[in-house]
Amino acid sequence: MSIDGFTWLDPRKPEQAFPELDQALQEPNGLLAAGGDLSPQRLLSAYQQGIFPWYSEGEPIMWWSPDPRSVIFPGQLKVSRSLKKMLNKALFTVTFDSVFSEVIKACAAPRNEDDGTWISPDMIHAYCKLHELGYAHSVEVWQNNELVGGLYGIAIGKVFFGESMFHRQSDASKIGFVLLIQQLSLWGFQLIDCQIASEHMDSLGACLISRKEFTSQLKQHCQHTDAGKWHSAEVP
């Protein structure tokens, strides 16, 4: 349904098509549609088209496809000298898919007393379901058997869509992210989606590409997937 040129999705129809990406608003950047649901069918369809949900609790679900898009090509990963030193010290242990629900809940926690969170209970439930289906994955960073950092996202084909990260120790999430990209590169992944530009991601090698180029990359690398849990053994 379209109201005043803006598309509202029917939550009873998870198969309903999203509008064409060129209908996304310029301000705010990339807002494409609202409503719908967070079923696995709709979420996977959204990611394959370069669309993701982002909204605050109590608001309608908002669907976005910003232009330009922040991405990292695995071969362009940047690791600073100080971060290399941290990696060489081996102060942390990194695992995959061992405590997904703990990671997403930690990402949902407010960063300070004044902050809210966009990772609502409905979002947590939806992404935990995608994890059970083998599409959502987590990276855990441990120190002395305590979870001190991590991140989660969606893997479809050879594209990883990063969603959120957290840290309780300095550089913990960065170390988890670097080791993830290195592992994804070994698995033949071609693209890491960072969604919107940030200083944090830029320092790790993120660059901006147009929506047109991003969707072209998805057509090449995001059409097929072997869903399943990633190996949870420690990452060297």
Confidence of residue 115 (pLDDT cuts 50, 70, 90): low
Tokens 């991003």 map to which residue? Answer: 214
Integer Cα distance of 217 and 191 in angstroms: 8
Global pTM value: 0.94
pLDDT digits (tens, 9 = 90+) for 178-199: 999 999 999 999 999 999 999 9
Q: According to the model, what pLDDT value does residue 132 have?
A: 96
CATH of domain 70-221: 3.40.630.70
Architecture of domain 2-66: 2-Layer Sandwich (3.30)
SS3 content of the chain, % helix, strand, coil (to 5): 30, 25, 40
Residues of the chain with CATH 3.40.630.70: 70-221
Contacts of 22 (CB under 8 A, 6+ apart): none
- pLDDT reading at 77 higher than 80: yes
